[in-house]
Amino acid sequence: MIDKVVSSAERAVADIHDGASLAVGGFGLCGIPVALIDALHRQGTRELETVSNNCGVDDWGLGILLSDGRIRRTVSSYVGENKEFARQFLAGELEVVLTPQGTLAEKLRAGGAGIPAFYTAAGVGTQVAEGGLPQKYDGTGGVALASSPKEVRSFGGADYVLEESLTPDFALVHALKGDRHGNLVFHATAMNFNPLCAMAGRITIAEVEELVEPGELDPEHIHVPGIFVQRVVHVPAGTPQARKRIEKRTVRVED
């Protein structure tokens, strides 16, 4: 088996080129591949197309790429925590393909499973299926690009819309554990979109908090097998590269 470990996040993302499509794991600020995103930011890669549940916050995660104008287009579900995202979208600087969350998950899973398209009830009877959903504004309040209508078919008396799967050029994911063969284990809610992105990417790069030798992971506990992963970077927990943020801190007021 091939040892897939690379020595640094910088080396791992070095061939991500301008204009590349990129699936990025995480949900909110949970389970995002911070070290890989930071390395890509330092590299200066531009014109990226990202596929991610959300686009980080203004100064964290994908938000640092967005704030520097590195993202041209994004396929996302939830973007409400990023003011710069809203500004760029309304100003016509960013193309946004809003996608129902479950549909986005299935588009990634289907891509990883080799399924080119699937039918879903999500979006039937809305602009998701009928077209006309703004994807890019012209900067003056008008719509420069709108979504196209999608095929709708009836099965068992109910309508379903056809959605195409996603297979981005690269995928960046964060895992709790990984071995040198690329087998990955995620922790709790960091499962979110990480396994799906890992499956869908043509080249998947995983940052792992704990790197172990082949055979140390219980096969029954592996969430993504190494066949889906091409590169592994060790980013130990507790180091600056592995720092984690809380999206919204809520505390109880003492009586």
Q: Which domains does the chain have, with CATH numbers?
A: 1-116+165-255 (3.40.1080.10)
- Strand 143-146 and strand 134-137: pairing? antiparallel
Please give the pLDDT value at position 41. Answer: 97
60: confidence class by pLDDT, cuts 50, 70, 90: confident
Q: Are 53 and 78 contacting, i.e. CB atoms less than 8 angstroms apart?
A: yes
Average pLDDT over residues 52-63: 88
Average pLDDT over residues 5-12: 97
Please, what is the end-to-end C-alpha distance for the chain in angstroms?
Answer: 60
- pLDDT tens by residue, 177-227: 999 999 999 999 999 999 999 999 999 999 999 999 999 999 999 999 999
Q: Are 131 and 149 contacting, i.e. CB atoms less than 8 angstroms apart?
A: yes
AA letter at 189: T
